[in-house]
A and B are shown apart, each in its own frame.
Chain A
Amino acid sequence: MRHSRWISILTALGCLIAYPVLADVSSALSDAGIEVHGFAEYRYGMRTQTDSLEDDISLNEARLQLDALCYHDLFTAELKGDLLYDDTVDNLEDIHLETGKGFFDLRQANVLFSPLDWMDVKLGRQVLTWGTGDLVFINDLFPKDWQSFFLGRDDEYLKAPSDALFVSLFPAFAGIDIAYTPRFDADRHISGEHISYWNGQQLAGEDSVLNTEPPDDWFTDDELAVRVYRNVGAYEMALYGYYGFWKSPGGMNPMTGKWLFPELAVYGASARGPLGGGIANVEAGYYDSGDDRDGDDPFINNSESRLLVGYEQEMAKDLTVGVQYYVEHMMEYDAYIDALDAMSMPTNSARDEDRHTVTLRVTWMLMNQNLILSCFTRYSPSDEDVYVKPVATYKVSDHWQASLGADLFAGSEDYTFLGQFENNSNIHASLRCSY
């Protein structure tokens, strides 16, 4: 049921024509103490090369976001959702709130209140984030939408919502955040639907979408994430803990061929603060892969130690540069290689013991900060692959915003973390009207 791109353009126009109506509705609700805002957006993207496994058009969507916010003396309530027309998707009418599939994506639906002076509670669908990395997440195990991010949607869509109870406690000595997700929320991970990937043997795409077996029992397959943090002078220190599952497929059931989300616990710490005229951050985490602690199961991820060191500085007026070094060290590496050998599985595509990564971000604001040029590069010398994401955003007025960007992948092998996406390199453009 593929339509022409004109349908999405017409939908986008429809959204824009609806703008004055929305403005009226918004002002009426505002009188009732409810703020309504949002945007209408059209976004188009295409691959810069042919991928025999996917469409040439990577994005062709019209989106209408509505965000209603109510500040009451006793609580704050927020409801935010996107209506979507995506020409590259066949069955838009099948709405799946958990994965965001279909013509409606519920982004937020929560209520925030303070039952005690030193306690905040946020209950419902919400976006959760913590940690210090720039697009590198060690202790932030809240769901990400890598598919949206690599297709070139707005940065906001990198974060997928969680359905959680979020409790914040503020005793005198620290801040304590506890996020309880009663049913596992996986990443909106790469699955082959729009982005082709390495399936363990070969590149695969929309005709061989990743078949997964996510843990989905309420209150049994749950997740718990904890952060304890405090500032020491200008330095922010934090400790983290997570008990749940690998957020993107981290194993396979060799009997069914389905991908799994094995058990995972993460223990970590971070620090961030001023250093030599810039901001430095360091973050570490130990990934305890409970289903394969010995590392001898070739179908389940081994445990890992992860370390990130970053530094950001303003190099000139409105020009900021950030660099990061990140390493993932696989534990019990010998057992992993032995296990591959024992199963007569290929070791040439095996992971390295240490996956080193460096990132560079340059952000330059021009024309009274109305033109923002940003380029994020992630390069792995050990995997010999690279990802470059340049984006130019121009604020035409207080309401209109246009963007032009690209997501470019390259790698010497098809099976590395970024190299597998080489055929998904794309350019994209958007036009957004906010109200």
Chain B
Amino acid sequence: MRRSVMTAVMMAVSVVAAAQAAELMADEIVAKANDASYYAGDDGRATVSMSLSDGRSRDFVILRKDVPGGLDQKFYVYFKAPADVRKMSYLVHKRPGKDDDRWLFLPALNLVKRIAPGDKRTSFVGSDFLYEDVSGRGLNEDTHELVETTETQYVVNNVPKDPGSVEFASYTVWIDKDTFLPRKAEYLDKNGKLYRRVSSEKIQTLQGYPTPTEQKVEDVARGTSTTITFSEIKYDIGLNDRIFTERFLRRPPREVTQ
């Protein structure tokens, strides 16, 4: 009797430990995926072209620099098209766990506008991409569970810790084992219905960093989609920290104008 209780307790402990290990593993996988997706190199540059299913397009150049010793990053975006946003520049100081600091420069008024922290699940420049798709989602905002390991991929299910703060009930990410890049993410609404899908259509290895060069977001519920392509990608170019200040917000640096 006593022995069987002990066995049961030990089994329970090991089950819990295994679950914790799986969870830890899921956390590790998600952290590595985040690293592969948003932190390749110490800095980088890309020319970005967004194509919306309604015929509209968005063209911009993006610069990124990581703040050493942490997850903080700085982004600089310079818009080239369409005409109504042309020459606007946008600066983000991303501090995971806190609100981002954001500034927008309106060239016609020569005005640097501070942008109030916003819902990160808001459309990025009117496309199907959300602000969070572009800058990354905080790792601690969801609980992660490894639901399946295939020959080539980890399948991780993510549930928001604060369901009221987001429009999804959960999302599942398929992550390539070799590169840790997410291949596909599917979002379920509160009724458990698929309404949104983000996928990496093309991945290329550039300067040793596996890089998504074409991604697609489908808003299944609304029937719209946006394709984003990245070109002229360069990593570790030694971007000067001062680019990410008001000076260069007002006068775009040559890294984005050329």
Contacts and interface: CB of A to CB of B under 8 A. Distances in A.
A27 interface: no
B109 A370 contact: no
A250 interface: no
A313 B119 CA distance: 11
Interface of B: 54-57, 81-84, 86-87, 93, 99, 101, 108-112, 114-119, 121-123, 125-127, 224, 242, 245-247, 251, 254, 257-258
A127 B108 contact: yes
A156 B251 CA distance: 18
A314 B121 CA distance: 13
User: What 8 pairs across the A-B complex have the smallest Cβ distances?
Assistant: A434-B83, A398-B82, A369-B126, A156-B108, A129-B110, A314-B118, A71-B257, A127-B110
A389 interface: no
B126 A317 contact: no
A277 B126 contact: no
Interface residues of A, number: 47
- Dominant SS among interface residues on chain B: loop
Contacts of B123: 318, 368-369
Nearest to A368: B126
A127 B108 CA distance: 8
B116 A320 contact: yes
B29 to A, nearest CB: 30
A159 B83 contact: no
A398 B57 contact: yes
B114 A236 contact: yes
A355 interface: no
A274 B103 CA distance: 12
Interface of A: 37, 39, 69, 71, 73, 76, 112, 120, 126-129, 155-156, 158-159, 168, 170, 175, 229, 231, 234, 236, 272-274, 277-279, 281, 312-314, 316-318, 320, 368-370, 395, 397-399, 401, 434-435
Contacts of B257: 71, 76
B246 A175 contact: yes
B116 A314 contact: yes
Nearest to B128: A368
B126 A370 contact: yes
A18 to B, nearest CB: 16
A399 B126 contact: no
A277 B117 contact: yes
A272 B246 CA distance: 14
A126 B84 contact: no
Contacts of A281: 114
A312 B116 contact: yes
A316 B119 CA distance: 8
Contacts of A277: 99, 117
Contacts of A69: 87
Contact of A314 (B54, B93, B119): B119
